[in-house]
Amino acid sequence: MATTTTAMKSAGPVSGSRSFLARLRNGDEIVRLITLIFAATVVLITAALVWELWANSALPRQKFGFNFFVTSVWDPIMDQFGALPFIYGTMVTSAVALVIAVPLGIGAAIFLAELAPPRVSDILQFFIDLLAAVPSVIYGLLGVFIVVPLMRTVIYPALNKPFGYLPIFKGPSYGVGFMTAGIVLAIMVIPYIISVSREVLLSVPRDQREAALALGSTRWESTWKVVVPFAKTGIMGSIFLALARALGETMAVTMVIGNTPKIAASLFAPGYSIAAVIANEFTEATGDLYLQSLIALGLVLFLLTFVLNGLARLLIVVTTQKGSEVGG
């Protein structure tokens, strides 16, 4: 332990410290310094990332200010850049994704944590982990060739006929659009919700369940009214995590959202998302203002995911700790 305390001070050698020289001779100090340099590199890289995003988006900040977020004209020829259609598209697709993925994911997590025998649960979890590892461009590929036609022939008629009077289900469908992107995103984030929620549910102490069962509740009642509320904050954390994923997801969305910078109430309409516009227009951005507007969008995306990830981590830690405190 003494090593660490003196080591802390000795980034520059402490003059006359014999123990420091001794450690230097047997190499500890050198190794510490080398590893410290690499660890510091990580901090440096992260700082550089934030700095690059900030510094390279100065032009639109000066020219448009806050209007950048509330105007919806995206016209590279006239040098007018407003981010609203992209922010809208990102939010709508993520919302659709969560509406589908949250019930499915939590349901599956409950099954894995509460019902399935440990062996079965582990095997299923293994498959879920593999599902999380499928590259996003593969989801995009399947989205283009399966979900888009399915949307045109099955989902759109099924929703448009009975609910067509609702603004969100109005209008024609081209196959691509907010809804299609949302469905693909939902499939992509389900594994995250399942894995984290399962962990959180498993950390709920056993006596909570037993107490509920002893009071005469059915299995479902003990799960739904005792276990799930106990794990509520952690499950919220898993949802935030999934949301952060969905917001930042690029390829799958780019391939199925339709790439039209318009704000439309209908979920069947084509749209655009922040990540998709960066992916599509970055290489062909002519002029500094255009390029920097795209980087500014990247900064927005970064800040959004930064806040969500932070919140998610906090909620998950709080819940698992609560579990070990009550259980311990």
Partner 1 sequence: MNGRLRWRKFVSNFMLAMTGVCAVVSVLVLFFILGYLLFNGGTSINWDFFTKLPKPVGETGGGMSNAIVGSGKILLLASLIGVPIGFLGGIYLAEFSGKGMASVVRYAADLLNGVPSIVIGIFAYSLVVLPFKHFSAYAGAFALGMMMIPITLRSTEEFLKSVPRMLREGAMALGASKWKTIATVIVPAAYRGIMTAILLALARVAGETAPLLFTAFGNRFESHGWSQPTATLPVMIYTYAVSPYDDWHRQAWAAGLVLLGLVLIINIMARTILSRGIAVPRS
Please, which residue, 92 or 169, has the CB nearer to partner 1? 92
Q: Tell me the C-alpha distance between 91 and 79, whole Å.
A: 25
Residue 60 as a binder of partner 1 (CB under 8 A): the answer is no
Q: Is 131 in the site for partner 1 (CB under 8 A)?
A: yes
For the bound state, the minimum distance from the C-beta of residue 164 to partner 1, rounded and expressed in Å, comes to 27
Q: Is 18 an interacting residue with respect to partner 1 (CB under 8 A)?
A: no
Dihedral sign (CA 29, 33, 36, 38): negative
Q: Which of residues 22-41 bind partner 1 (CB under 8 A)?
A: 23, 26-28, 30-32, 34-36, 38-41
Selected range binding partner 1 among 74-82, 160-168, 216-224, 260-268, rule: CB under 8 A: 216-224
Contacts (CB under 8 A) with partner 1, residues 143-182:
144-146
Among residues 258 and 266, whose Cβ is nearest to partner 1?
258
Residue 310: enclosing H or E segment and its boundaries? helix 288-327
Give the tokens for residue 16.
């006359």
The 8-class DSSP code of residue 83 comes to -
Q: Which of 138, 166, 314, 317 binds partner 1 (CB under 8 A)?
A: 138
Closest CA to 61 of 298, 289, 304, 302: 289
In the complex with partner 1, the residue whose CB is nearer, 69 or 127, is 127
Q: Does 328 bind partner 1 (CB under 8 A)?
A: no
Angle (CA) 266-140-153 rounded to 5° is 50
Q: For residues 43 and 41, what is the distance between their CA atoms, to the nearest angstrom?
A: 5
Minimum distance between the CB of residue 294 and partner 1, rounded to whole angstroms? Answer: 8
- Residues 136, 160, 208, 320: which binds partner 1 (CB under 8 A)? 136
Q: Which of positions 247-276 make contact with partner 1 (CB under 8 A)?
A: 247-251, 254-255, 275
Footprint (CB under 8 A) of partner 1, residues 274-313 = 275, 278-279, 282-283, 294-295, 298, 301-302, 305-306, 309, 313
Is the Cβ of residue 31 or residue 99 nearer to partner 1 in the bound state?
31
Shortest Cβ 300–partner 1 spacing (Å): 10
Residue from 48, 215, 265, 314 binding partner 1 (CB under 8 A): 48
- Rounded to 5 degrees, what angle do the CA atoms 109, 115, 117 make? 105
Considering the complex, what minimum distance in angstroms separates the CB of residue 89 from partner 1? 14
Matching residue, tokens 């390279």? 56
Query: Would you count residue 135 as binding partner 1 (CB under 8 A)?
Result: yes
**Residues of span 69-128 touching partner 1 by CB under 8 A:** 103-108, 110-112, 114-116, 124, 126-128
Query: Which region among 43-51, 63-71, 77-85, 159-167 touches partner 1 (by CB under 8 A)?
Result: 43-51
Give CA separation, 52 vs 45, 143, 295, 306, in Å. Answer: 10, 33, 9, 16
68: Cβ contacts below 8 Å, ≥ 6 apart: 60, 61, 81, 82, 83, 293, 296
201 contacts: CB under 8 Å, gap ≥ 6 = 109, 110, 113, 114, 227, 228, 231, 235
Strand locations in the chain (E): 74-75, 80-81
Site size for partner 1 (CB under 8 A): 92
Of 160 and 273, which CB lies nearer to partner 1 in the complex structure?
273
Q: For residue 286, give the 3-state DSSP assignment.
A: coil
Contacts of residue 147, defined as CB under 8 A and 6 or more positions apart, other chains included, come to 180, 183, 184, 256
Question: Concatenated DSSP letters for 235-260?
Answer: HHHHHHHHHHHHHH--HHHHHHS---
The residue (of 159 and 296) whose beta carbon lies closer to partner 1 is 296
Q: Select 126 or 163, whichever has its Cβ closest to partner 1.
A: 126
